[in-house]
Chain A
Amino acid sequence: MNALPCTIYVSFTGALLALLAGRVSAAAARWVALATAVTAWGLTLSAAAHFVPAAAVQTLVDAPWVPTLGIRYHLAADGISLTLVVLTGLAATAGILFSWNIKERTGEFFALYLALIGGVYGVFLSADVFLLFVFYEIAIVPKYFLIANWGSTRREYGAMKLALYSFAGSALVLLGVLWAYAAGGSHGFGLTDLATAAAGFTRGEQIAMFALVFLGFAVLAGMFPFHTWAPTGHVAAPTGASMLLAGVVMKLGAYGCLRVALPLFPIGFAFWQPCIAWLAIIGILYAGFVALVQDDFKFVIGYSSVSHMGFVLLGLAAANVRAASGAVLQMFSHGVIAGLLFAVVGRMVYERTHTRKLADLRLLPLHRLLPFAAVTFVLAGLASMGMPGFSGFPAELTILIGVWTTSRIWALAAAVGVLVAAAFTLRAIQVSFFGKVETAGESPAPADHAHPLDPITLPEKLGTVLLLGATILIGLKPDLLLGWITPALQSPFFQTVLKGGTP
């Protein structure tokens, strides 16, 4: 456990090293990046291996930082953090494998990439809101440059939109947190301190503060109607970055909602609860329907992320241990699955065919040209649909069970969402990879020798195996994660807002 803070330091150091290595050669930068990501992931896994599930948050480092303001350098972890740092390590490693073909400014790419990862680790491990906010903002800047420099389709627009939404969201968070800090007597930014202080606030204050903090974080989680940055940004981003952005960075928002907004302002939350739930549901359905009519393959995936994050938000809005544990599980699951989907679309397909238009792709017998990509996409698509056997299913089921106990109507609407997800995923599978299929009796189409597509490379295969393995493992054994998550949610800290101590 105590090695977890090193994930942050390792990542930032790796960023510097990658920058320097990039001056030597692109390959050096790649290997440095991979070594860094694997080391950090290894640290999270070893922490996971020694983790004893407990309700209490386990402090890793705690030192005064700015005593004048009561700010502490306080890193801590519980089962939720652990789940998400393991996800971060996994997604980062896979993302680097899928970025193996970055040729331009390789060192800078991986430096920014690792800096982003370092920020993400930091957010998941912070127990001081100021510190959390610092890491949260550190993660914003690399996103912009990753997209603007190495992206595709309208990358500068997408990057700017994404960065501005993130930053505007963080400004709201800052406002809410500062207000709570000030109203609570300016004693400190520790989560528990703030929660204690917030217990004394008036209802009006709680309602307003919750709105600020939650909205700020929810923007990053892609809550409708503040989700529009997500599809554009993720589509514009280079593959490795889309994987990380959709896979992990969106989770920062959801994590912030769960870790900061909800437990600090339970009364404020109670006021906004229906509103959040309905926005989440609208997000699930709206993004699903939009995904159903996209003509750009990557936009389908982009909107699917919004739809899936809607489940996370709905799980949080239901505010019981069951639903919240499902939401965290869904965060993990979506992180892995979105990574896979973006990997197939952005890296395996787009960089070989140079088109993402479904109308063009349907003319190619892609399942013959790229059978590996086809199988991967089918499996990832199934996982994304919530097919049993993959991680999405236990997550969605847990959320549904939890949501049901809070509100039947929400659960019903979410079930419709499951159906919509199946519809657009299936359509994407069908049109992209199986658009042109020889009908029975016809001989197989001769391989198109004029434009042979490059074979799938080893790093791509490795990355795929990692991610697929994770989603299947968690699909079959969700206990691995739920066993960490549930006790954490049963802690007194969360019990102020989550109901149902024993699921």
Chain B
Amino acid sequence: MNLLLSAIIFVPWAGALLLLLLKNAGARTTRGLALLFSLSTLVLGLLSLGSFEPARAGLQLVENRDWISSLHVHYHLGLDGLSLLLVLLTGIVGPAALAAGSGNVRDHRLYAALFLLLQGAALGVFLAQDFFLWFVFWELSLVPAYFLIRLWGGPDATRAAYQFVIYTIGGSAFMLLGFAAIYAAVGTLDFVELAQLGAAGTLAKALGGLATFVFVGVFLGLAVKVPLFPFHTWLPAAYAEAPTGASMFLTGVMSKMGVYGFLRILWPLFPAQLHAAAPCLIWLALAGVVFGAFAAMKQTDLKRMVAYSSVNHVSYCLLALFAVSASALGAGAPASPSALSGALLQMFNHGLSAAALFFCVGILETRSGGQRGLNDFGGVRTAAPVFAGLCGIALFSSLGLPGLNGFVGEFLIFRGVFGLAPAVGALATLGLLATAIFLLTFYQRVFHGPTTARTAGFRDLTAGELASLAPLIGLMFLFGVLPQILAGLFNPLVTAWTTLP
């Protein structure tokens, strides 16, 4: 049996363990080791890409072993286009975020160990194909995230971290109950089997009148994590208080865990319930798109601004999904492939651009001694032209400028949503508009204008920082121009989804 997927998950954890054990290692050693282990994901991800057959829609490189026989739980890992996409994203954002944080972090060894734990847990979420296993990673990812925020976060980190965990666990508790019910009804927790039951309608039948109830439970767990409006209130505080590296990973990878859950669990398992609920949910997603953008516009704290923009961007993904689900024709509608492909691309692209933006805000913050107000800067472009340029690219990617990666995803989503639910699509453009406004304001206030005393001596990017940021920016161009590289991975999957009977 192929152990590649296990390796993807557990190599970062092994690294964490190693770091914890190396009590007396020097700072350089730990930094190097941490980065190495973090990069392993990318390497192993690319390896798996090598043996991945894009033309097949099903799971590949499957590992499936008995684990807990009394609950019929299996150690089941598998990879399809969706998972691979997110593994690669983790492989890219993870090392960048780790490198971004490592410069001025005390207790770096512990920090890096927690970070690797988080990375491994996130990978586990993307690869696990059995609810029990999946939930292990899902919940365990909270622990390192909590400590990263709590121990290295800002002044209000205590509350932010507590809120973050409690909200998420609150959602999880209901999801857990939902799966307890599912298990009680059908006796399996395997996603693949459950998806088959879901497609055939057997699952809903087995749950009887409680299918809706269970659906709500699972939905809550995922919606909090994404977060879907109005469950997003934990997010700005958590993202804003977290240290830069953690913010990058939280927004780049962890927010995708929720969306992934929608695609992997909720949609296949409860097609009928989702179809029934989607006309309402789509308005929630729309609210996320619009209010997220407008809230971002009202922020004066740059980090909170980027945080709210994340709410906005992630909501696009769900908007697309709900639009597909809500349409009378379901996934078979002609606009569905476009919307779904857009959603998948958006997940990846937002990961890149949001991580890059948090990185840039982090740089502003360190250089200015902790300032990150919208009006605290000015004229940074003169002092740090390279930084200004790269940050600008990240901003434009985020607002969806054609040629950069952000554009493709949003374009496909809008194309799909207009085809499926024109009114919603039209209203969602408001979000686009607001996004453009606040991102441009960001750029203008910070980089243009007269140089203030604070920004006069602004140092440009160091080599290390450049090494973190440049690959992200490079990929933005790459996937902006050649989105089919990514699309090729999941096209068969989307085709399979949209041709379901």
Interface residues of A (CB under 8 A from B): 322, 325, 378, 382, 385, 387-389, 393-394, 396-398, 400-405, 408, 411-412, 414-416, 418-419, 422-423, 426-427, 430, 434, 437-441, 443-444, 477-479, 482-483, 486, 503
Name the interface residues of B126-185: CB closer than 8 Å to any CB of A: 132, 135-140, 143, 146-147, 150-155, 157-158, 161-162, 165-166, 169-170, 173-174, 176-177, 179-181, 183-184
Question: What residue in chain B is nearest A399 (Cβ atoms)?
Answer: B180
Q: How far is the CB of B172 from the nearest CB of chain A, in Å?
A: 8
The DSSP consensus for interface residues of chain A is helix
In the assembly, what is the distance between CA of A81 and CA of B370, in Å? Answer: 60
Q: Does B210 contact A (CB under 8 A)?
A: yes
In-complex Cβ contact of B150 among A388, A396, A411, A437 (8 A):
A437
Count of residues in B whose CB is under 8 Å from the partner chain: 45
Contact A401 B184 (CB under 8 A): yes
Contact A404 B181 (CB under 8 A): yes
Contact A405 B184 (CB under 8 A): yes
Contact B169 A385 (CB under 8 A): yes
Contact A439 B157 (CB under 8 A): yes
Question: What residue in chain A is nearest B161 (Cβ atoms)?
Answer: A430
Contact B176 A397 (CB under 8 A): yes
Contact A437 B151 (CB under 8 A): yes
Q: List 7 A-B contacts (CB under 8 A).
A: A387-B139, A387-B140, A401-B71, A418-B169, A422-B169, A441-B104, A483-B70
Decide: A415 near B184, CB < 8 A? Known: A387-B143, A388-B136. Answer: no
Q: How far is the CB of B461 from the nearest CB of chain A, in Å?
A: 20
A-chain residues with CB within 8 Å of residue B157 when the two chains form the complex: 437, 439
B-chain residues with CB within 8 Å of residue A426 when the two chains form the complex: 146, 162, 165-166
In the assembly, what is the distance between CA of A415 and CA of B181, in Å? Answer: 12
Given contacts A398-B71, A437-B158, A479-B70, 14 further A-B contacts (CB under 8 A): A378-B143, A382-B143, A389-B140, A397-B180, A400-B177, A404-B177, A404-B180, A430-B161, A430-B162, A437-B150, A440-B154, A441-B370, A479-B69, A483-B69
Contact A439 B180 (CB under 8 A): no
Q: How far is the CB of B455 from the nearest CB of chain A, in Å?
A: 19
Decide: A411 near B180, CB < 8 A? Known: A439-B154, A482-B70, A486-B70. Answer: yes
The 4 closest A-B pairs by CB, nearest first: A388-B136, A400-B180, A415-B177, A482-B70
B-chain residues with CB within 8 Å of residue A405 when the two chains form the complex: 184
A-chain residues with CB within 8 Å of residue B146 when the two chains form the complex: 426
Interface residues of B (CB under 8 A from A): 68-71, 104, 106-107, 132, 135-140, 143, 146-147, 150-155, 157-158, 161-162, 165-166, 169-170, 173-174, 176-177, 179-181, 183-184, 210, 213, 217, 243, 370
**Which residue of A387, A415, A423, A438 has the most chain B CB atoms within 10 A of its CB atom?**
A415
Q: How far is the CB of B178 from the nearest CB of chain A, in Å?
A: 9
Question: What residue in chain A is nearest B183 (Cβ atoms)?
Answer: A401
Question: What residue in chain B is nearest A396 (Cβ atoms)?
Answer: B176
Contact A430 B150 (CB under 8 A): yes
Decide: A430 near B71, CB < 8 A? Known: A389-B140, A415-B176, A441-B104. Answer: no
Q: How far is the CB of A8 from the nearest CB of chain B, in Å?
A: 30
In the assembly, what is the distance between CA of A482 and CA of B143, in Å? Answer: 27
In-complex Cβ contact of B106 among A385, A414, A434, A444 (8 A):
A444
In the assembly, what is the distance between CA of A261 and CA of B139, in Å? Answer: 37
A-chain residues with CB within 8 Å of residue B136 when the two chains form the complex: 388-389, 393
**Which residue of A412, A441, A483 has the most chain B CB atoms within 10 A of its CB atom?**
A441
**Which residue of A405, A414, A422 has the most chain B CB atoms within 10 A of its CB atom?**
A422
In the assembly, what is the distance between CA of A483 and CA of B68, in Å? Answer: 10
In the assembly, what is the distance between CA of A477 and CA of B153, in Å? Answer: 36
Decide: A427 near B152, CB < 8 A? Known: A388-B132, A412-B177, A418-B173. Answer: no
Q: How far is the CB of B187 from the nearest CB of chain A, in Å?
A: 9
A-chain residues with CB within 8 Å of residue B180 when the two chains form the complex: 397, 400-401, 403-404, 411
Decide: A416 near B173, CB < 8 A? Known: A401-B180, A401-B183, A440-B243. Answer: yes
